[in-house]
Amino acid sequence: MNIIIVGCGKVGQKLVERLSEERKHDITVLDTDATIIQDMIGQYDIMGVVGSSVDVKSMDDAGIDVADILIAVTGSDELNMLTCLLAKKLGNCRTIARVRKPDYAKILGVFREDLSLAMAVNPEQMAANEIAKVLRFPSAIQIDTFAKGRVEILKFKVPTGSVLDNYKVMDIVAKLKCDILVCGVERGEDTFIPGGNFVIKSGDLLSVLSPVHGEAPFFKKIGIKTNSVKDTIIVGGGDTAYYLASRLCESGIRVKIIEKNAKRCDELCQELPKISVIHGDGTDNRLLLEEGLQGAGSFVSLTNIDEENVLLSLYAKSQSNAKIVTKINRIAYDKVIDNLDLGTTIYPKNLTAENIIRFVRAKNNSFGSDIETMHYILNGKAEALEFRINETSPVCGIRIDKLNIKKNILIACINRNGKIIMPRGSDIIQKDDSVIIVTLSGGVENLGDILL
């Protein structure tokens, strides 16, 4: 597909990185900064155009007339929307804009038709949704939903002294009698898609797939608490905090926001009457203790400075048993940060890029791939893909244990008319099922690709 990416900030770069990895797209980037463009075309196999996205000439140079998708991810909402509007007039492409200001986000529904946006992405809102999901199930580090919300993949850490220590994967079903599936294990730098004989160790990060709410018995049996947090302390009152607080209020969680800027405190207080807003410096240890950090159920650091967030989270970890969530803007250091035991880390830029890529993939369906939805799991090392089965599919009507499936690929779940089946060897994939596949290798575009 021909994709134009406008704006080469962190999100733009991440998009280029991921999309050019797939190799089947012709990508053109457009930015006003010649240095960044130089840098990008030196790094990736893409075309670069220096110019403004609201300039007809630059857009022509970028090939707007043949583009299939235009993604506007500059720092300015207004520019993004205007770019999409112009793109629609100049060519015939689907447009995606990043719109982050809460005010715009609210009214976007009103004139989305006029802007003819295929998708509006809001990194802050996405980050907030992600955090809210995690706070509702604090033992999980990451939660992805599939099959229209019927299936979840939860990532959690096996605590020391857990029942699961030295447990074989096949014994989970046999001994614990739980209908869940371990679809991925991360141990240090290594990532596995475990077979039945794989032995779990404490400290592993387990990704388990289960029907929604089906995981509760499993977690109860292995002694991990599953109930939502009761209250939370948020440091930093930016847009993400606003979105998060309003979501958490809806589910009845008590929210306390600590914010330095008095004016912002006033705003938050007016917008969200149910929460308590504290005007003060969140990096002040005494203030945190005073506001009950030690007894808090969860702690979310959302300041705009990554270093501050990391330190705050580490401090909170040392003072309490709270579920810790840390927002990190800079993507590049994720490996280092993962070693710090910060609980859940949220990368808004990554989330944005992944959401857009999911859209691109779905759009790609008409170009020969059958993927319905796609998530990066296991820290971006594996993909979970959802496929719909038709009668011509090579896996249709054959017992699963008779299928010759490639290494590091797992048929994780079958959704038959809304009924979730955890596939065993004797199950047969039928027409109109949708199937979730977990793969480490990438490059799977239709179900035929999983067979040897």
Partner 1 sequence: MVLPLICAFVYGESENVVPWLVCIALCVLFGFLLSIKTSGDRNMFAKEGFVSVALSWIVISFFGSIPFVLTNAIPGFVDAMFETVSGFTTTGASVISDIEALPKSVLFWRSFTHWIGGMGVLVFLVALLPLSGSGNLHLLRAESTGPSVSKLVPKVKQTAKILYLIYISMTLILIFLLWFGDMNFFEAVTHGFGTAGTGGFGIKNDSLAGYSAYSQVVITVFMILFGIDFSIYHLIILGRFRDVLKSEEWKVYIGVIILSVAMICVNCYNLFDNISDAINHSSFQVASIITTTGFSTLNFDLWPEFSKCILVILMFLGACAGSTGGGIKISRIIILVKSIAKEIKIMAHPKTTLKIKMNGRVVEHETVRSVNVFMVAYLIIFMLSILLISLDGMGFETNFTSVAATINNIGPGLADVGPASNFSCFSPFSTIILIIDMLIGRLEVFPLLLLISPYTWKK
Question: Measuring CA to CA, which residue among 207, 222, 218, 216 is closest to residue 161?
Answer: 222
Q: How far is the CB of 48 from partner 1 (least distance, A)?
A: 8
Contacts of 197 (CB under 8 A, 6+ apart): 168, 169, 170
Q: How far is the CB of 47 from partner 1 (least distance, A)?
A: 4
Question: Measuring CA to CA, which residue among 313, 441, 443, 451 is closest to residue 378?
Answer: 441
Q: How far is the CB of 98 from partner 1 (least distance, A)?
A: 22
What residue ranges in 223-370 does DSSP mark as E strands?
231-235, 254-259, 276-279, 298-301, 323-327, 344-346
Q: Please identify, using beta-carbon distances, which residue of 46 and 413 lies nearer to partner 1.
A: 46
Both tokens of 273, joined, read 């009457």
Q: How far is the CB of 370 from partner 1 (least distance, A)?
A: 24
Q: How far is the CB of 44 from partner 1 (least distance, A)?
A: 5
Quick one: angle between helices 239-250 and 123-136, nearest 10?
40
Q: How far is the CB of 356 from partner 1 (least distance, A)?
A: 18
Quick one: angle between helices 102-115 and 77-90, nearest 10?
10
Contacting positions for partner 1 (CB under 8 A): 20, 23, 26-28, 34, 41-47
Q: Please identify, using beta-carbon distances, which residue of 50 and 105 lies nearer to partner 1.
A: 50
Q: How far is the CB of 45 from partner 1 (least distance, A)?
A: 5
Q: Are 126 and 352 in contact (CB under 8 A)?
A: yes
Q: Please identify, using beta-carbon distances, which residue of 45 and 432 lies nearer to partner 1.
A: 45
Q: Please identify, using beta-carbon distances, which residue of 55 and 284 lies nearer to partner 1.
A: 55
Q: How far is the CB of 83 from partner 1 (least distance, A)?
A: 19
Placement of tokens 């500059």 in the chain? 74
- Beta pairing, strands 276-279 & 254-259: parallel
Q: Please identify, using beta-carbon distances, which residue of 66 and 340 lies nearer to partner 1.
A: 66
β-bridge partners, 94: 69
Give the Cα separation of 278 and 152 in Å (integer): 35
Cβ–Cβ contacts within 10 Å for residue 211, how many? 18
Q: How far is the CB of 434 from partner 1 (least distance, A)?
A: 32
Q: How far is the CB of 16 from partner 1 (least distance, A)?
A: 10
Q: Please identify, using beta-carbon distances, which residue of 31 and 433 lies nearer to partner 1.
A: 31
Q: Please identify, using beta-carbon distances, which residue of 26 and 449 lies nearer to partner 1.
A: 26
- Beta pairing, strands 199-200 & 167-168: antiparallel
Contacts of 320 (CB under 8 A, 6+ apart): 293, 294, 295, 296, 299
Q: Please identify, using beta-carbon distances, which residue of 222 and 360 lies nearer to partner 1.
A: 360
DSSP label at residue 428: B
Q: Please identify, using beta-carbon distances, which residue of 43 and 390 lies nearer to partner 1.
A: 43
Give the Cα separation of 311 and 27 in Å (integer): 38
DSSP string, 247-290: HHHHTT-EEEEEES-HHHHHHHHHH-TTSEEEES-TT-HHHHHH
Q: Are 72 and 80 in contact (CB under 8 A)?
A: yes
Q: Are 277 and 271 in contact (CB under 8 A)?
A: no
Q: How far is the CB of 42 from partner 1 (least distance, A)?
A: 6
Q: Please identify, using beta-carbon distances, which residue of 25 and 375 lies nearer to partner 1.
A: 25
Q: Please identify, using beta-carbon distances, which residue of 34 and 262 lies nearer to partner 1.
A: 34
